[in-house]
Structure 1
């Protein structure tokens, strides 16, 4: 059996970070995901999907995600239920994320927003991939050989891999 979901959307508000009584971090946020079609009136519609992250990933999301930011979420769908104060059964469907990728740099341009892509690694430990937090890259474009300075790039045929 398989329960995997991948979503790309924008946060509807800043994430809410809380801690369980045992001290485990948990963050909740909602992402708006566009539907692949328009309504009869020609308007785009979206689904608003609740997302939950735990532990280190929760703290990372709380620190870096903000309302409106484009984000990719990978995880599983979970359905839980509880009885509310009126005695009615309430069902909640949410995505439990184990990987969140920040697809845009910080819009404020503050610390850490040097135009580099930031990604949050899965809480389960190194997935062997690049987490996007490479600190050995220079800030800005001072030493970037591919920065657009208005001049054409000279590439010989010997440099091409094909």
Structure 2
């Protein structure tokens, strides 16, 4: 499947993209988010998590590594691996226990957990283009391909 490219002009566009992705995904699912610092990974996550019914703020779990949400019968886990110094730290926190049949795992900075994070179903790479952003969305599994075929 050819990557999907989406252009975002502002923060609202980024939140709306997260909401659009939320509308097509179901557990079990792994969604990787990559891009430079400040590119909009957590803003995207906020749109997705709030679309599942979370009413509060969505903060980046940079220091905790993971922020859990129980929403609509879905275990949603938001990981931020930016500050991870050694992927072995993920073993100590029981990383494998998060990837279940009823979980959706959003993983920011997935390359930092190389070898311990399962292959993503959907990956979004956000990059700066002048003052805007370009998001390239790809699938890494059959499920990811099927879900992205529903993306409008």
Query: Is TM more than 0.5 here?
Result: no
Compare relative contact order (CA 8 Å, sep 6+) and give the higher one, 1 or 2: 2
Q: Higher helix fraction: Structure 1 or Structure 2? A: 2
TM-score range, shorter chain: under 0.3
Superposition TM-score, scaled by structure 1 size = 0.24
Q: Higher strand fraction: Structure 1 or Structure 2? A: 1
Between structure 1 and structure 2, the one with the greater Rg is: 1
